[in-house]
Structure 1
């Protein structure tokens, strides 16, 4: 049954295992009360990415975070699946007609694709260091090596390249140890998951950004990969009414690097 999140009583955080559309289970956690917000992490990560912002966010919102298919505590993918359909399954499981979506990197891409496919179900978007389906990345030696490692399922090289490309601030920056732990623990899971992840029909969001109707906040870290800043600018220009913020002292792992500033921005933006 679809319900309004305001009907929920105040309950402590609780974990659930959500049946995935094509088999398996998605690990999820729900905490807090208020208008619903769903957090989507990036590739090679899991829901621990949000550890530093969930407690404060849950004081004001009904917060749901989940591990994408095959990552973290969700079961491995055994056949083709859609990340957009997985997100819909999460909303349906919790009985939510609409929710705000907060997505980082791959999670931002999934949130955008979902907003284009199901605009009536998205109350707001917050895109953090987001990628966009259809975007052509420039050639560079490090990105070429990264793509090769993913294609060849070379998890050792992938785990080495991940922080070199995306964690410019290094291990000593806030959240550095957790970043390394997530990357190492998800390296093998990631290549299996990506092998089975298929794009839904029409997954080419970049030329359709003008169709986004949800209020949108675009955030990226000052020390993120340079192409992320290019994408962020494109998002702000092409999504009607979108606002952009650059956070100093943050790279791609922004929720771990600058959690207080990110939480402040989210609380100001989310309905």
Structure 2
């Protein structure tokens, strides 16, 4: 296993998949809370954090599968944030036998077409290359970040974002391998019990994505008051309480 990972706590396993432009520092507050009752595995996706740079198009789903096999985990909860939620969703469709529960925090969704203002924001970030500082500021001030940009957590987001943008310039290859057809067409096939969490101040696309996820047969929805796309950093206690309530009493699940 060439990906960097860390294991905290004991009990029922939970694998946490971070968002885009981030790494395992996506979970500095939520992971320790969960580790009081569960075995929590955080890792840096390929090309991010302390994991090796991409040398070919990334297959994030196989990376998760290889991590589980490396750790001899036969059943797990997966928590995914943003594009980590997209990876988690695709994993649930491809390898449902590995999942106990699925928790999606402001997930992206393969096949979803974003609103024009977000597409323009993404384009502006790309066009600012190779000015890493400008790219970082554009990420932190994007429409996804209406709350965190003015919070005490913006420094952590800036440091993490800048690190991963710099690392991106070291990649030998870009892109990712995703299953076909895209998950947006197959959500009704998800058999895993699922929790969908978003912030009430996230971009409107999060609400549209939630509407698509209503096709999942066994799913619950939670809206965290005052959170934007980065509620994993700004509202970890609320996330923790909702996740633990969803998963059930930890001592009986371990």
| TM-score (structure 2 length as normaliser) | 0.90
Name 1:75's counterpart in structure 2: 52
2:71 paired residue among 75, 84, 94: 94
Measure, in 1, the Cα distance between the counterparts of 2:70 and 2:235. 31
8 Å Cα contact 1:36-1:100 kept in structure 2: yes
Structure-2 change in CA distance of 1:167 and 1:37 (3 Å): same
Q: Counterpart of 1:41?
A: 18
Corresponding residue for residue 230 of structure 1: 208
Q: Which runs of 5+ in 1 are unaligned?
A: 1-18, 20-24
**Partner-residue secondary structure (3-state), 1:223:** coil
Q: Which has the higher contact order (CA 8 A, sep 6+)?
A: 2
1:178 matches 2:161: no
| Secondary structure in structure 1 of the residue aligned to 2:119 | helix
2:120 is the counterpart of 1:144: yes
Are 1:110 and 2:119 matched, yes or no?
no
Cα RMSD, aligned residues only: 2.0
CA deviation string 1:143-162 (max 9, x = no partner): 22413643785453432221
Q: How does 1:7-26 map to 2 (within 5 A)?
A: 19=1, 25-26=2-3
Please report the TM-score for the alignment, with normalisation by the length of structure 1.
0.84
Deviation at 1:268, TM superposition (A): 1.3
Q: Using a 3 Å threshold, how does the CA distance of structure 1 residues 198 and 65 change in structure 2: closer, same or farther?
A: same
1:218 aligns with 2:202: no
Show structure 2 runs of 5+ residues with no match. Answer: 248-252
